[in-house]
C-alpha cells in the first residue's frame, strides 16, 4: 500500500508537495475506510483519497508526476539508451527552478516492510538516489548515490542490509539510469520487491495511459469471471443480469517487424471481433441490449470492472485522473464504496483519483476528512497540494458549499467581467 508520495519541481509542482495516505487519529469510519498495518510509524492507511482542483490547477500534474516516476523506474535501465535525455519538465516560470533537478520520493508497505525510495534527476542524468528499508522501527539505508560534480562521477554508499554484487551493479549503471533498475536487471533479488511494486502494484489511468476493455472482455469469456463482473455491476447498482460475449473472426491487418530485414510489414490476417450482449431483468420481464444501447457510464464501468476486480483482489494501488469524466456521479460513489467494503476489498487495495464532482464532498459516509485533498495555483502559477484536515472543518460542515466559496482553495479565480470591456 502507498504510504506517502513527495514531488518537487515537476511541471507546476514547484515546491515540495507531500501527499499522504496515513490515516489521522480520527476514529470516524475506521472499520471501512482505513486498514491497519501493524506498524507504529503508520498504524492505519486510507483505502481511498480524492483530489480536487480547478482546470489547469495542477491536479493532473500530480498524477503525471507519479506516472513519470514509475516510468523512469521501469524504463531507465532497459529502454533508455546511453546518452539519451529525458523529457523532464521542471517548473519553468522562474530561472532558479528551471535549472534545478526534479525530485521524487515514494514510501510504500509490502509484506509488512516499509520502503522509502527516491531520486532526483535532470534531463541528462540521475543526480541522486536512495533507498531506506524499515524492517525494524529504525530505518536501514541500503544505498545512497550522489553525483559529485568535482569528481565528475557518481559516489555510492551502502548499508549492511543490501546483499549482492553491488560493485557489478554500480559499474553497469549509466548516468541516465537508476541504480535500482539496473541492479534488478542484473538479478538483484534484494531490490526486486521495490521494482516490482512500481511495475505490478501501482496502476495509473489517465490520458497517457488509457483504459482498455481487454481485461474485462477476457474475464467475460469465463463463467467465473462473467459472474464476478455481473456481481460488480450489481454492487454498483447497475441492473445487468448477464453478459454474453460473441466472438468471431473477421478480416483485418496486423503489423509485423522483420528483424533480419529491419523493416515493418503489414499483413492481412483474421482478427477476433467481440460483440457484447447485456441481459436486463426486471419484475416486468427481460430484455437484451447491445453495447451501443448501454449508457456511456455503464460502458466505462464495465471496462473498469475487470481491472478493478483484479486490483481489489490483489491489493493494488489504483490512481485515476478525472474519474468523473468517465462515470456518472452515482457510479463514482458506488465505485469508491467498493474500496471501502472489507468483504469486497479483500486485498487492501487503494483508490486515488482526481475529480471536479463537488457533490461527492457531502455524500453520506463517502469520505473522512483526511481523505480529501485540494490543489490550487498561487499568483506565481505554482501548484500547492493541501489536505482538507488542515483547515479543521466542523463535524457537520457543508463541505461542498465551503469548497465552492473558496474556503479550502482549489477553485479558479474568476474575473466577473469575463474579459469583456465596457
Say which residues have a Cβ less than 8 Å from residue 69's Cβ, sequence separation at least 6: 7, 104, 106, 198
Q: What is the CATH number assigned to the segment(s) 1-207+321-422? A: 3.40.50
pLDDT of residue 408: 67
Domain boundaries, the chain: 1-207+321-422, 211-314
The β-bridge relationship of strands 317-320 and 372-377 is: unpaired
Query: Contact at 8 Å (CB) between 101 and 149?
Result: no
> In angstroms, rounded to a whole number, what is the distance separating the alpha carbons of residues 17 and 221?
44
Query: Contact at 8 Å (CB) between 171 and 157?
Result: no
User: The pTM is what?
Assistant: 0.86
The β-bridge relationship of strands 263-282 and 242-258 is: antiparallel
Query: Contact at 8 Å (CB) between 357 and 363?
Result: no
Residue 232 is placed in which grid cell?
460488480
Residue 391 is placed in which grid cell?
483547515
pLDDT of residue 40: 85
pLDDT of residue 201: 97
> In angstroms, rounded to a whole number, what is the distance separating the alpha carbons of residues 65 and 261?
39
Give the Cβ contact number of residue 253 at 10 Å: 9
pLDDT of residue 207: 75
Q: In what order do the strands lie in the sheet with 263-282?
A: 242-258, 263-282, 285-290
Q: Tens of pLDDT along 137-146?
A: 688 999 999 9
pLDDT of residue 414: 40
DSSP secondary structure letter of residue 22: B
pLDDT of residue 285: 72
Query: Contact at 8 Å (CB) between 310 and 316?
Result: yes
Q: Which of 416, 410, 420, 418 is nearest to 55 (CA)?
A: 410
> In angstroms, rounded to a whole number, what is the distance separating the alpha carbons of residues 4 and 340?
20
Say which residues have a Cβ less than 8 Å from residue 20's Cβ, sequence separation at least 6: 3, 4, 387
Residue 106, strand partner residues = 5, 117
- Measured CA distances, 154 to 55, 179, 191, 211, 383 (Å): 40, 11, 19, 39, 32
Q: What is the mean pLDDT of each run of 10 residues along the chain (422 residues)?
A: 97 96 93 92 94 85 95 91 89 88 97 96 96 87 96 95 95 96 96 97 84 84 88 76 83 61 66 81 78 81 88 95 83 91 93 93 92 91 89 72 69 44 42
Query: Contact at 8 Å (CB) between 278 and 266?
Result: no
pLDDT of residue 156: 97
Amino acid at each position: 500500500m502507498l504510504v506517502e508520495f513527495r514531488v518537487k519541481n515537476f511541471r507546476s509542482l514547484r515546491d515540495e508537495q507531500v501527499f499522504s495516505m496515513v490515516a489521522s487519529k480520527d476514529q470516524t469510519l475506521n472499520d471501512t475506510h482505513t486498514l491497519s498495518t501493524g506498524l507504529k510509524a503508520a498504524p492505519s492507511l486510507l483505502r481511498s483519497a480524492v483530489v480536487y482542483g480547478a482546470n489547469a490547477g495542477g491536479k493532473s500534474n500530480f498524477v503525471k508526476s507519479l506516472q513519470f516516476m514509475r516510468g523512469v523506474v521501469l524504463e531507465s535501465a532497459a529502454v533508455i539508451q546511453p546518452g539519451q535525455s529525458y523529457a523532464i519538465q521542471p517548473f519553468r516560470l522562474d530561472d532558479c527552478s528551471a535549472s534545478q533537478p526534479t525530485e521524487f520520493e515514494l514510501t510504500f508497505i509490502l509484506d509488512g516492510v516499509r520502503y522509502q525510495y527516491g531520486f532526483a534527476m535532470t534531463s541528462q542524468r540521475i543526480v541522486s538516489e536512495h533507498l531506506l528499508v524499515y524492517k525494524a522501527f529504525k530505518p536501514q539505508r541500503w544505498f545512497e548515490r550522489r553525483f559529485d560534480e568535482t569528481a565528475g562521477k557518481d559516489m555510492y554508499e551502502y548499508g549492511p542490509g543490501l546483499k549482492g554484487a553491488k560493485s557489478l551493479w554500480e559499474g553497469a549503471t549509466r548516468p541516465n539510469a537508476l541504480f535500482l533498475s539496473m541492479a534488478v536487471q542484473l538479478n538483484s533479488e534484494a531490490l526486486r520487491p521495490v521494482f516490482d511494486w512500481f511495475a505490478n502494484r501501482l496502476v495509473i489511468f489517465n490520458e497517457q495511459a488509457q483504459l482498455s476493455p481487454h481485461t474485462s472482455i477476457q474475464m467475460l469469456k469465463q463463467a467465473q469471471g462473467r459472474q464476478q463482473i455481473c456481481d460488480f455491476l450489481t454492487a454498483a447498482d447497475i441492473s445487468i443480469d448477464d453478459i454474453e460475449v460473441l466472438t468471431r473472426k473477421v478480416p483485418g491487418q496486423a503489423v509485423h517487424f522483420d528483424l533480419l530485414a529491419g523493416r515493418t510489414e503489414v499483413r492481412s490476417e483474421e482478427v477476433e471481433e467481440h460483440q457484447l450482449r447485456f441481459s436486463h431483468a426486471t419484475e416486468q420481464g427481460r430484455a437484451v441490449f447491445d453495447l451501443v444501447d448501454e449508457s456511456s457510464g455503464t460502458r466505462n464501468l464495465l471496462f473498469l470492472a475487470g481491472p478493478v476486480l483484479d486490483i481489489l483482489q490483489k491489493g493494488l494501488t489504483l490512481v485515476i485522473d478525472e474519474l468523473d469524466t468517465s462515470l456518472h456521479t452515482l457510479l463514482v460513489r458506488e465505485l469508491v464504496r467498493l474500496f471501502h467494503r472489507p468483504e469486497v476489498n479483500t486485498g487492501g487495495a487503494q483508490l486515488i483519483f482526481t475529480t471536479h464532482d463537488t457533490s461527492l464532498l457531502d455524500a453520506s459516509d463517502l469520505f473522512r476528512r483526511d481523505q480529501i485533498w485540494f490543489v490550487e495555483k498561487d499568483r506565481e502559477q505554482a501548484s500547492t497540494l493541501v489536505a482538507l484536515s488542515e483547515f479543521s472543518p466542523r463535524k457537520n460542515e457543508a463541505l461542498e458549499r465551503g469548497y465552492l466559496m473558496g474556503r479550502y482553495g482549489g477553485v479558479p479565480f474568476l474575473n466577473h467581467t469575463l474579459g469583456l470591456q465596457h
